[in-house]
Chains A and B, each alone.
Chain A
Amino acid sequence: MVLLEIKQVEKTYRTKLGFQQCVALRGISCKVEEGEFVAIMGASGSGKTTLLNILASLDRPSAGEVLLDGIKLSDIPDRELSRFRRDKLGFVFQDFNLLDSFSLRDNILLPLVLARRPLAEMEQRLIPVADMLGITTLLAKFPYEVSGGEKQRTAVARAVITEPRLLLADEPTGALDSRASANLLQVFTKLNCLGRTILMVTHSAQAASYARRVLFISDGRLVSQLFRAADENDHSFFARIISSQSALAGGGEQNG
């Protein structure tokens, strides 16, 4: 079943003065099936964050449509939008975006509190999620007291505790060292095995190699994609991503 459908999405930023335009996305189309783990790869400035913000309904496209579960995002009225976001989507950001004023527990519970879930349900959901992410012992701490990897796992816990239809991640390993990155990506793989649909944006081939499918974005366009074979190991997929990436970069250089 198709979970997410992106149809000819374009995004043009206008600078404050209005006479300069910046085209961030130039007609992006793709589909994401339920249960997939997709990575979108591209150089910095290629429009990844812009695309993700549009998928997250945090930003609106200049043209085109985004459908989640068959619902057009543009059809959702503004006052329903935050509820939609809360119920259907989970986010993980590069710089964690945890609230300093909340303990890790409260950071994770935040979406449930906003959804007015009963206290008992909160506790019930928290325990397995925290267990899976290995942060059970840290729950009483505050974000500034834990490491980057632990912060990011907390952010993942916050994103999945609502059991969203789609988990969106923007450079989730961008601020982590390689060990914490590997650890986090293993968590993503595990979540994917448990049936969670994940769309991750990254510029790291290492991170992308954990996905089942990799889309390459360049200059606001999707330029190619790679599927991971059913029995392919991480190393060989990583090698293919690298060669694809350098082929694209080489092509780009020839064009430019």
Chain B
Amino acid sequence: MAEQSSRGFYRRLAWTNIRRNRVFCLPFALAVAVVSAVFFLCVGIAFSDGLSNMPSGATARAIFAFGVFTFALFAFFFMFYLNHFLVKQRKKEFGLYAVLGLSKNHVGRILLWENFLLIGGGMLSGILLGALFGQLLFSLLKQLIHAAPGLQLRIPPVAYLGVAILFALVFAATAVYNLAQIRLANPISLLQSEKRGEKKSRFLLPAALLGLAMLGFAYYFAWTIENYAIALGVFFPLAMLVICATYLLFAAGSIAVLRLLRANKRFYYRPEHFVSISGMFHRMKQNAAGLATICILSTMLTVTLTTTLSLYLGQEKILAERYPQDLAIYSGGAEGADAAAYDAELSDLAALYDITLRPAETEPEAISVLETLPHSLYDAQNNWFYCDISGADADATAFIQELRKGKDPLVYGYFDDIFSARQEGYTMFGGLLFLGAFFSIVFLVIAVLLIYFKQVSEGYEDKARYLILQQVGMDAQQVQDTIRRQVRWVFILPLLATMLHMLFASRIITRMLEAFLLYDWGMTLRCSLGVCLLFILLYFVVYQLTARIYYRIVRHSV
């Protein structure tokens, strides 16, 4: 009986804590929900029966399975990272508990309950979310890949199992980490852990210069790549280089620049700059990695979306390049009479399907042949029948399917047509676009959550700073201006870096797309512009929302 009530006690205490810390707990639960929804859908789609029945379903399943694995790995570390944020924020509270006489065991139990409630609640809502939006997403996917309308998404039970396993692991890992945090710490250090000083950074200038050199090299290389083979080969190494350079520049470059600004006394010792610059120092030293991560996630997002969107929109251009004529049949050296007969046969069959065959206009050799053999589709020089087809797409597809079925002595294996390719293209490029958009949304959600957690935890840190500033005679207006300036910089830096990365990435993307026979640099540029604009818009919405939360936290004391 007593045991029963004491268990209720911990749960109730945990619930109270969650409510009190809702600025952190709510987004954490939201993160759990989003991650589990995404994971649920990934697993669900990858193992659904529907997928195997789709055209190119096997390829899609392989892509999804790989995606599922990568995503699980990533989700695990992401949740762990967010949890660490949550715990860091509350170390002071744990210290207080210890001072109040709650044993470490008790604090640990409360914490376990909290995590259990947060992760469990988030997971359940995530699965619900996934089940609801899954159908919507699936119909979007069907649209994109022009799949048959009868296709149904039935999420197999393995999806529930997958989510449960993933979050059981997350729960176990965070539990171990949190308990270790409590066990290792003594109350005093917990109480003071917020005010720890920062390390002196050394090798700043070399690190900044190295970052600059790496970035410059990567940019130059990306800009001057001549052909797609090189582009495909160096894309991942260059991306790695840019990621490293971004981290270096955010961590060291920003500090180096701030040092320069601080060295200029006339500039530095002004109310507008004094507090902001020193605040940025503090901010960059602690959060450079976080900002760099936001920048890299944003870049991944825009690159992924631009590439997949370009492919999808450029599909017709790719087809036109790849298939100068709608239909090509290799005859392996037919005599003139046979060719004429086959020619007539083709035309008759075409008439059955309500379409007409015209000699291909694009092949110069074909035209020369046409002069000797009027109306024929046969290119005697190359032993190919080339023709364009006019009529409804569906009729043409049916015609092609009939042709592929029939065995004609003249056709020696080679048979190439734009309609089958178009269907395959839709499956592939539509699938890629879907995946691209899907993962972009995931990147976006992660970036947003990161931004949110940063802003809020910084808000709590800065609160004390701004109180002190007021005590030494800074007025409310100055405080507000300073806060604005600082928040704006922290937001705009990753965005600027993302846009710059994107400018150079658009070049290498264009080159890579040439591997798919897409030669439209203008369209890639338009796509990246559109994606960037959309991203900037979203980013500013997030900025407005989280900045408001930040102001509210900071001003609470002001």
Contacts and interface: CB of A to CB of B under 8 A. Distances in A.
Nearest to B477: A79
B266 A119 contact: yes
B197 interface: yes
Contact of A119 (B269, B278, B279, B469): B269
B296 to A, nearest CB: 26
Nearest to B273: A113
B279 A113 contact: no
A158 B471 CA distance: 11
A16 interface: no
B217 interface: no
A99 B474 contact: no
A106 to B, nearest CB: 7
Contacts of B196: 144
A82 B475 CA distance: 5
A101 B269 contact: no
B522 interface: no
Given A100-B195, A114-B271, A85 B278 contact: no
B473 interface: yes
Contact of B278 (A81, A102, A114): A102
Interface string B265-279: 110011100100011
A91 interface: yes
Contact of A114 (B197, B279, B476, B478): B478
A100 B269 CA distance: 17
A82 B269 contact: no
Interface in A39-94: 56, 58, 78-79, 81-83, 85-87, 91, 93
Interface in B451-479: 465, 468-478
A179 interface: no
Interface in A20-41: none
Contacts of A83: 473, 475
Nearest to A143: B197
Nearest to A164: B473
A109 interface: yes
Contacts of B476: 78-79, 82
Contact of A111 (B269, B279, B473): B473
A199 to B, nearest CB: 16
Interface in B250-278: 265-266, 269-271, 274, 278
B274 A113 contact: yes
Given A99-B465, A100-B195, A158 B282 contact: no
Nearest to A93: B471
Contacts of B197: 100, 142-145
Contacts of B195: 100
Contacts of A102: 278
Interface in A109-128: 109-111, 113-116, 119, 122
A193 B1 CA distance: 70
Best-surrounded residue of A87, A110, A143 (most CB of chain B within 10 A):
A110
B269 A113 contact: yes
Contacts of A56: 471
Given A119-B266, A119-B269, A142-B197, A114 B472 contact: yes
A114 B266 contact: no
A56 B266 CA distance: 31
A109 B471 contact: no
A111 B274 CA distance: 11
Interface size of B as a range: 20 to 34
Interface size range on A against B = 20 to 34
A113 B274 CA distance: 8
B71 to A, nearest CB: 38
Which of B196, B269, B274, B476 is the most central at the interface, judged by chain A CB atoms within 10 Å of its CB? B269
Contacts of B281: 101
Contacts of B472: 86, 91, 110-111, 114, 158
A97 B471 contact: yes
A98 B472 CA distance: 10
Nearest to B479: A82
A116 B471 contact: no
Contacts of B279: 101
Contacts of B468: 97-99
A101 B466 CA distance: 12
A145 to B, nearest CB: 7
B473 A115 contact: yes
Contacts of A162: 473
A178 B478 CA distance: 38
Interface in B16-67: none
B356 to A, nearest CB: 78
Contact of A99 (B266, B271, B278): B278
Contacts of A143: 197
Interface string B57-95: 000000000000000000000000000000000000000
A56 B468 CA distance: 13
Contacts of A116: 270-271
Contacts of B274: 106, 110, 113-114
Contacts of A122: 269
A114 B269 contact: no
Given A82-B476, A86-B473, A114-B472, A106 B278 contact: yes
Contacts of B469: 99, 110
A82 B467 CA distance: 12
Contacts of B265: 119
With a 10 A CB-CB cut-off, give which of A56, A114, A115 has the most chain B CB atoms. Answer: A114
A145 B269 CA distance: 23
A101 B275 CA distance: 9
A80 to B, nearest CB: 9
Contacts of B474: 82, 114
A115 B392 CA distance: 79
Nearest to B278: A101
Contact of A101 (B270, B271, B282, B478): B282
Contacts of A109: 269
7 contacts: A85-B473, A100-B282, A101-B278, A110-B472, A114-B473, A116-B271, A119-B269
Interface of B: 195-198, 265-266, 269-271, 274, 278-279, 281-282, 465, 468-478
Given A110-B274, A110-B469, 7 more contacts: A58-B471, A101-B282, A110-B472, A114-B473, A116-B270, A142-B197, A162-B473
